[in-house]
Amino acid sequence: MALMSSFAPRLSDADLLARIQSYHWWHSIALREGLTTFGGKTEAILAQEEQALLSPFDLAGRSVIDIGAWNGYFSFAAKRRGAARVLATDSYIWNHPIWRGRETFDLARAELGLDVEALMLDPPQITPQLGLFDVVMFLGVFYHLYDPIEVMARLRGITRQLLLVETHSDLTDQARPGMVFYPGAILNQDATNWWGPNPATMLHLFLQLGFTRIFYRDHPTLGRARGIYAAFTPEVAEGLILRFDDNWRDLDVPGAIEALVTA
């Protein structure tokens, strides 16, 4: 249902291209035939990430929140995969005077005509008042937070079934849980990067926060440098998980971390 676009006058292709070009994009999103946003992440990479992140799950009828949605690629993907309700949230990039993320999200949403809600929300402000979501997506945000432990605890409070985390990793050759702190702009010349956890740390945090099953896979294109985690609450419904392919491993079993480190 093209709710938004039915009210806004449809832009000509030339006008849409001009609008696209007036913004910086992180996600390459095909808005129309032949009109794709020029994102730092290519369509091909995003397709692989989407496949890695979302294909194990049946999102039909689920509620999904996307924390740090930026241009909205994964929110749109969840909606297209049948989610009943998708709430895209962001703050830093959405309010940023150069990145103007909220405007990019609004443009893409209107063009795609997807019924995705948007909320200006900084992760440290997450509260149970947001309600519970079957699936919480926390992709590329963990390492941007000075206090990711607090935000993980807050995420637990809004997760009904599944918390999906994608993050930069460090100390990946160590089986003991640890995380590296990056003062200033040490990591990738980006002053918004703070922490690099290893898989053992993420497992530790998930378990401490009351997630009971935790699965892990390497990033589809960047490998061990970034990790993808699916952490389930005890309330997970049978039907949510379709199938974890061979890239995934069960992390909450004895020896799993040691096996991962030597793999």
Partner 1 sequence: MNEAELRSAMGAHRWLQSLRLRDTLLTPGLKSEAQLREEEAALFDPLNLAGADVLEVGAANGAFSLAALRRGARRVLATDHLPWTLPGSDALSATQWAAHALGAPLETRAQDPRELSAAFGSFHLVLATACFEQWFNPILALRGLRSVTNRILLLETMQDALADARPIMMAQSHHAPIGGVQGSWVAGWAPNPPLMLQLLIDLGFDRILYRNHPSLGSARGIYAALLPEAPDGLLAGFAAPWANLTHPQG
Binding region for ligand SAM (CB under 6 A) = 68-70, 74, 90, 92-93, 123, 139-141, 144-145, 192
Q: What are the backbone angles phi and psi of residue 109, rounded to the nearest 5°?
A: -60, -45
Q: Is 53 left (phi over 0), alpha (psi -120 to 50) or beta?
A: alpha
Q: Pick between residue 67 and residue 200 the one whose CB is nearest to partner 1.
A: 200
Nearest CA to 29 out of 69, 72, 66 is that of 72
Residue 123 binding result from partner 1, ligand SAM, none, given CB thresholds of 5 to 8 Å by partner type: ligand SAM
Mention every residue, 6+ apart, whose C-beta is less than 8 A from residue 33.
Answer: none
Q: What are the backbone angles phi and psi of residue 230, rounded to the nearest 5°?
A: -115, 115
The contact set with partner 1 (CB under 8 A) reads: 146-147, 149-150, 153, 171, 176-183, 200-201, 204, 208
Q: Encoding tokens for residue 124?
A: 């440290």
CB of 224 to ligand SAM, least distance (A): 18
Q: Pick between residue 45 and residue 149 the one whose CB is nearest to partner 1.
A: 149
Residue 178 binding result from partner 1, ligand SAM, none, given CB thresholds of 5 to 8 Å by partner type: partner 1
Residue 142 binding result from partner 1, ligand SAM, none, given CB thresholds of 5 to 8 Å by partner type: none
CB of 195 to partner 1, least distance (A): 9
Residue 171 binding result from partner 1, ligand SAM, none, given CB thresholds of 5 to 8 Å by partner type: partner 1
Residue 70 binding result from ligand SAM, partner 1, none, given CB thresholds of 5 to 8 Å by partner type: ligand SAM
Q: Pick between residue 50 and residue 257 the one whose CB is nearest to ligand SAM.
A: 50
Q: What are the backbone angles phi and psi of residue 67, rounded to the nearest 5°?
A: -95, 120
Nearest CA to 42 out of 221, 243, 183 is that of 221
CB of 262 to ligand SAM, least distance (A): 29
* Amino acid (1-letter code) at residue 26: W
Q: Pick between residue 92 and residue 244 the one whose CB is nearest to ligand SAM.
A: 92
Residue 10 binding result from ligand SAM, partner 1, none, given CB thresholds of 5 to 8 Å by partner type: none
CB of 112 to ligand SAM, least distance (A): 16
CB of 151 to ligand SAM, least distance (A): 8
First to last CA, the chain: 46
Q: Pick between residue 123 and residue 227 the one whose CB is nearest to ligand SAM.
A: 123
CA distance 39 to 188: 18
* Amino acid (1-letter code) at residue 105: F
Determine whether 255 is exposed, middle or buried from the number of CB atoms within 10 Å of its CB (0-12, 13-18, 19+): exposed
Give the CA distances from residue 188 to residues 192, 194, 220, in Å, rounded to whole numbers and listed in that order.
10, 11, 20
Q: Is 7 left (phi over 0), alpha (psi -120 to 50) or beta?
A: alpha
Which residue shows structure tokens 């999103």? 29
Q: Pick between residue 147 and residue 235 the one whose CB is nearest to partner 1.
A: 147
Q: Pick between residue 4 and residue 180 the one whose CB is nearest to partner 1.
A: 180
CB of 95 to ligand SAM, least distance (A): 8
